[in-house]
Amino acid sequence: MLVAASAGAGTAASLPRQGVLVPGESLGGISLGMTKAGVRRTWGTRFGRCRSCATETWYFNYRPFEPQGAGVEFKGGRVSRVFTVWQPEGWKTTDAVTLGAPESEVTSVYGALVRRRCARYTALLIRGPGVQSVFYVFDGELWGFGLTRRASSPCL
């Protein structure tokens, strides 16, 4: 459940229309360890706060009450996970793998990846020092991207 979004007057920052996953580094300009203030500077102040999440989570949606967008989880006031929500259009990797691509394209570009079975989808992982880049696959199609700490579960 989300709390009403807050809005700052004159804030130019917003969720990118064509976000980019830089494996091991950032998603849509958000990096692990970034502060809440840094997230606000990058994606703005129009977000909803999850009331029922175990950790503080902000959701940035393109339109109110429609699921496409992205989320950011915090631990200790810093980004611990960032992820897309519901296959937002125009998002891609630095290697031009776009959301909606077949799973075979992900493995063709990034090679054999670690696979983790989640509740209703599969997470394909590029594991780096301290961070893992996540490709969320549902029914053979790339549905989302994420970045999380390597020690964390990739499942949302």
Residues 81-103 have pLDDT tens digits of 999 999 999 999 999 999 999 99
Q: Is residue 2 part of a domain?
A: no
Kind plus residue range of the DSSP H or E element containing 26: strand 26-27
Q: Kindly report the CATH number assigned to the domain that includes residue 90.
A: 3.40.33.10
Each residue's pLDDT tens digit, 103-141: 999 999 999 999 999 999 999 999 999 999 999 999 999
- Evaluate if residue 4 carries a pLDDT over 50: no
Looking at the structure of the chain, the number of domains it has is: 1
If DSSP states are collapsed to H, E and C, what string results for 31-94? CCCCEHHHHHHHHCCCEEEECCCCCEEEEEECCCCCCCEEEEEEECCEEEEEEEECCCCCCEEC
Domain that holds residue 68: 20-149
User: pTM for the complete prediction?
Assistant: 0.90
Q: What are phi and psi of 38, to 5 degrees?
A: -65, -40
DSSP 98: B
